[in-house]
A and B are shown apart, each in its own frame.
Chain A
Amino acid sequence: MHVSAKACLASLAVAVALFGCGRKEEEAAKPAAQPAAPQTLTVKIGHVGPLTGGIAHLGKDNENGARLAVEEANAAGIRLGGAPVRFELVAEDDQADPKIGNTVAQKLVDAKVSGVVGHLNSGTTIPASAIYNQAGIPMISGSATNPALTEQGFKNVFRVVGRDDQQGPAVANYLLATVKPKVAAVIDDATAYGEGLANEVEKTLKAAGVMVLPREKGTDKTVDWKAVLTKIKGKKPDVVFYGGMDSTAGPLIKQARELKIEATFGFGDGACTDKMAELAGPAAEGLICSQAGIPVQAAGKKFLDAYKARFNMAPILYSPFTYDATWLLIEAMKQADSPDPAKYLPVLAAIRYDGASGHIEFDEKGDRKDAEMTIFTMKGGKVTPLAIIKGGKSLTLDEYAVKSAAK
């Protein structure tokens, strides 16, 4: 039963891939832009993330967040320019591959979406943002953390999570304070995200006088880390940091423990999930990792309950952020009374909004003002928040809950 359901889904996916193009063009031909007054106005919102490959579970989580927001907006009966609106989520798969990311971005532009939530990986988001910029379509990423994304001077690019030049120092400082390392090893997966984050961590560690070993690299598909780890083992680091996603980080920490490397392992947000414990077993216990936002557990209760009721599972990582990103687009359209990107983009840039991930305002680059960073550890197979860092101050989860309840 289980198998046949999966087989069904997969063949459905093939069918959609084969016939998807034709269908979308038909939809685009429908009178979406200029309807008569009482007619329902269809507003398309694009979402892109990897729905296949090693981190498909994270892509699906992001998409679920956006889907929940769209469904809630439809239930709320929003009207734009006097006409009732039906929001439609156009969900695409970029396979975490920059080439496919660009193709999909162009597809969304051609389908005349009013806004885009995504992509998931920095490596796919940065090149795709240029395509949305050219088309003048606002995009908000709920998970791309590489600083370069908002340094391009694009007016239409936003993100609701923190940047790696905040995340890297946050996790590095935590490691410095708790482990007090003398020697550190830094590894990355040679992607824009992994390498960028590893650079930030290395900078912070070096500034604190830690001896950082020459950088080691894998790829975003590497599962055999033994050779790299063996080399590192000889230098006896106190701390090992890896910039990469959980599907490669799991084998990395597992093999490190098999080689009897006793260092404390640090990871970024891409490997800050429960999947780590699934892939590495007990070897994952005690790892330190960071997320570029508040922990999922600290998201608004309304969101958590709605997500669980709708998808029958707990949110994994960044779905509160894609949920907020989707609502930000809708909210800006509401305030501008139009789904036209040219009209609602200025409203979006100046928006003040309280969402599932807290209060959101954008700075002039499109980054979230005062973004939180959270430090986690692996405890009993679950990533457990240790501290939330906001404005240079470190709070425990309870203190944060008290503070946000007081607001």
Chain B
Amino acid sequence: MDILLQQLINGLTTGSVYAIVALGYTMVYGVIQLINFAHGEVVMIGAMVAFTVIMALLGANLPPAFIVICGVIAAIPVCMAIGYLLERLAYRPLRHAPRLAPLITAIGMSIILQHIALLIWGRDPLAFPQIIENTSFTLGGAAISTVQIIIILLAWVLMGGLTWFVYRTKFGVAMRATAEDVRIAALMGIDADRVIAATFVIGAALGAVAGVMVGAYYGIAHYTMGFTLGLKAFSAAVLGGIGNLAGAMLGGVLLGIVEALGTGYISEVSDLCRWPLIGQMLSERCSAEGHLVLFGSNYQDVFAFLVLILVLVFRPSGLLGERVAERA
């Protein structure tokens, strides 16, 4: 039981990060029906910038929490600027182009950002310094660390803040109006260009925070780290229903938990010796080796994409999806 609880805590932590990154995908998709594949790279750059700032301040004899906050505060504007530039330079000129053109541009931007990071930060994995005292607490037999608690709490604060912003402010109304129909929103006096740019910038700011979370959680940052993370967050957004804010949050957390449980239990489930019929047929080899495992825990990254395929086959609109993503 405590193992299950521990896997749920692990899944909730990664899931919270997926949820924040997924928000970046889903907001942009909601407004201009574009899948911004460069978003994972924005997250990576957030981690890298924070790493640089934290390393620079490390010798300065400041309180550790302050250094980390400085890292986050430095990463956010850099990512916001990148988000803005992506929209302004790469996507806006293609806003009325066929759907495929901005999608391919997004993939291109993702590669470009990766290589810019490679030029600046090099190829080696960067060891994220562990400066906040990371103590683990025991909770019903499962361990939860300070970093995990901070990640989960911060993620939910950010998601709450974003929901408030979208549903309770004037600018949020403008965003939702633009999402419904760009042309009519423009006729109503909404500056659509500004709203779309703001959507990118907000998504990028969330991405920056997610980047620092990932870096601090695993203690490692690398220029390719945004790629799989981005794809998984995209899967989470699709799972929840792309274009839907609550869906991205739900999808992220669910995906994190599916991944943790899947990785934790796959080798037991796929152990042929435990299967009633096949186990008897293979009883000789089973008694000699003990286990005949088909899929080991190295299939960790498969679960996100398995979920993506299942959702696309059985419920393309996602769990909370308002509309079918027919144009993507």
Question: Does chain A bind chain B?
Answer: yes
- A230 near B123 with CB under 8 A, answer no
Query: In the assembly, what is the distance between CA of A149 and CA of B301, in Å?
Result: 30
In the complex, B296 has a CB within 8 A of chain A: yes
Does A38 make an interface contact (CB < 8 A)? Answer: no
Task: Provide 26 A-B residue pairs closer than 8 Å at the C-beta atoms, listed in order of the A residue.
Answer: A6-B119, A52-B123, A54-B222, A190-B296, A214-B267, A216-B297, A218-B297, A219-B300, A226-B14, A227-B259, A227-B300, A228-B297, A230-B3, A230-B7, A230-B264, A231-B264, A231-B265, A233-B3, A247-B220, A250-B220, A254-B219, A255-B218, A258-B136, A259-B6, A278-B127, A281-B219
A44 CB to nearest chain B CB (Å)? 26
A401 within 8 A of partner (CB): no
CA distance A255 to B145 in the complex (A): 10
Q: Tell whether B134 is near chain A: CB-to-CB under 8 Å.
A: yes
Residue pair B124, A217 in contact (C-beta under 8 Å):
no
Residues on B with C-beta less than 8 A from A10 are 118-119, 122
A contacts, CB < 8 Å to B: 3, 6-7, 10-11, 52-54, 56-57, 189-190, 214-219, 222-224, 226-228, 230-231, 233-234, 247, 250-251, 254-255, 258-260, 275, 278-282
Contact in complex: B3, A217 (CB < 8 Å)? no
B263 CB–A CB distance under 8 Å: yes
* B side interface size, CB within 8 A: 43
Q: Is there contact, CB below 8 Å, between A231 and B3?
A: yes
Residue of A nearest to B3 (CB): A234
Considering only CB atoms, which chain A residue lies closest to B2 in the complex? A234
Question: Which one, A3, A217, A259, contacts B143 given CB within 8 A?
Answer: A259
B10 lies within 8 A of A226 (CB) = yes
Complex: how many Å from CA A255 to CA B6? 13
CB < 8 Å neighbour of A215 from B118, B121, B293, B300: B293
Q: Min CB distance, B273 to chain A, in Å? A: 10
Expressed in whole angstroms, the Cα–Cα distance for A327 and B21 within the complex equals 53
Question: A227 and B125 in contact (CB under 8 A), knowing A214-B267, A234-B2, A260-B136?
Answer: no
Q: Are A190 and B219 in contact (CB under 8 A)?
A: no
Q: Are A250's CB and B219's CB within 8 A?
A: yes
What residues of chain A lie closer than 8 Å to B271, measured between beta carbons?
214
19 additional A-B pairs beyond A7-B120, A189-B298, beta carbons within 8 Å, are: A6-B119, A6-B120, A10-B119, A56-B123, A190-B298, A217-B296, A218-B297, A219-B298, A230-B3, A230-B264, A233-B3, A234-B3, A247-B125, A250-B127, A254-B219, A259-B6, A278-B127, A279-B125, A281-B130
B124 touches A56 (CB 8 A): yes
User: Which B residues between 185 and 233 are near A, CB-CB below 8 angstroms?
Assistant: 218-220, 222
Contacts between the two chains (Cβ within 8 Å), count: 112
For residue B287, CB closer than 8 A to chain A, the reply is no
Indicate if the CB atoms of A216 and B127 lie closer than 8 Å.
no
Q: In the complex, are the beta carbons of A230 and B298 less than 8 A apart?
A: no
Beta-carbon contact of A227 and B127 below 8 Å: no
B61 at the interface (CB under 8 A from A): no
Residue of A nearest to B267 (CB): A214
Given contacts A214-B293, A218-B300, A278-B127, contact A223 B218 (CB under 8 A): yes
Contacts of B138 in A (CB 8 A): 260
Residues of B within 8 A of A54 (CB): 124-125, 222
B119 and A224 form a contact (CB under 8 A): no
Task: Give Cα A300 to B113, complex, Å.
Answer: 45
Q: Which B residues are within 8 Å of any A CB, using their own CB?
A: 2-3, 6-7, 10, 13-14, 118-125, 127, 130, 134, 136, 138, 143, 145, 147, 218-220, 222, 259-265, 267, 271, 290-291, 293, 296-298, 300
| List of 5 A-B pairs having minimum Cβ-Cβ separation, nearest first | A227-B263, A217-B296, A217-B298, A226-B10, A234-B3
Q: Please indicate the chain A residues that have their CB under 8 angstroms from the CB of B120 in the complex.
A: 3, 6-7
A190 contact set on B, CB distance < 8 A? 296, 298
How near does chain A come to B36, taking the closest CB pair, in angstroms? 24
The minimal Cβ–Cβ distance linking A115 to chain B, given in whole angstroms, is 28
What chain B residues lie within 8 Å of A254 (beta carbons)?
130, 219
Shortest beta-carbon distance from A249 to chain B in Å? 11
Chain A residue nearest to B135 (CB atoms) is A258
Nearest residue (CB) in A for B292 is A214
Q: Which residues of A contact B145 (CB under 8 A)?
A: 258
| A residues near B222, Cβ cutoff 8 Å | 54
Q: How far is the CA of A7 from the CA of B118 in the complex (A)?
A: 8
Cα-based distance from A57 to B218 in the complex (angstroms): 20
Q: In the complex, what distance in Å separates the CA atom of A223 from the CA atom of B220? A: 8
A233 to B264, CA, bound (A): 11
Q: Closest A-chain residue to B121, C-beta based?
A: A6
Bound-complex Cα distance A254 to B218 (A): 8
How far apart sit A190 and B295, CA to CA, in the bound complex (Å)? 12
User: What chain B residues lie within 8 Å of A215 (beta carbons)?
Assistant: 291, 293, 296
Within the complex, the shortest CB–CB distance from B206 to chain A, in Å, comes to 21
Say how far A254's CB is from chain B's closest CB, in angstroms: 5
Q: How far is the CB of A232 from chain B (nearest CB, A)?
A: 10
- Residues of B near A227 (CB, < 8 A) are 7, 10, 259-264, 297, 300
CB of B224 to closest CB in A, whole Å? 8
Q: Which B residues touch A275, using CB under 8 A? A: 127
| Cα of A215 to Cα of B260 in the assembled complex, Å | 18
Please, how many angstroms separate the alpha-carbon atoms of A255 and B130 in the complex? 12
- A222 vs B299: C-alpha distance when bound (angstroms): 10
Q: Which of A52, A214, A233, A281 contacts B6 (CB 8 A)?
A: A233
Name the residue on B nearest A206 (C-beta).
Answer: B290
A218 to B7 alpha-carbon distance, docked (Å)? 17
Q: Which residue of A lies closest to B52 (CB)?
A: A3
Given contacts A218-B297, A259-B143, A280-B219, contact A228 B264 (CB under 8 A): yes
Nearest CB on A from B293, distance (A):
6
A218→B118 CA distance, assembly (Å) = 25
Smallest CB gap from B266: residue in A: A227
Q: Are A218 and B127 in contact (CB under 8 A)?
A: no
- Among the listed B119, B143, B219, B290, which residue makes an inter-chain contact with A279, where contact means beta carbons less than 8 Å apart? B219
Max chain A CB contacts within 10 Å: which of B138, B147, B220? B220
Residues in A neighbouring B127, C-beta threshold 8 A: 250, 275, 278-279
Tell me how far the C-beta of B139 lies from the nearest C-beta in chain A, rounded to whole angstroms.
11
Q: A53-B123, A216-B267, A231-B264 are in contact. Are A258 and B134 (CB under 8 A)?
A: yes
Smallest Cβ distance from A139 to chain B, in angstroms?
Answer: 26
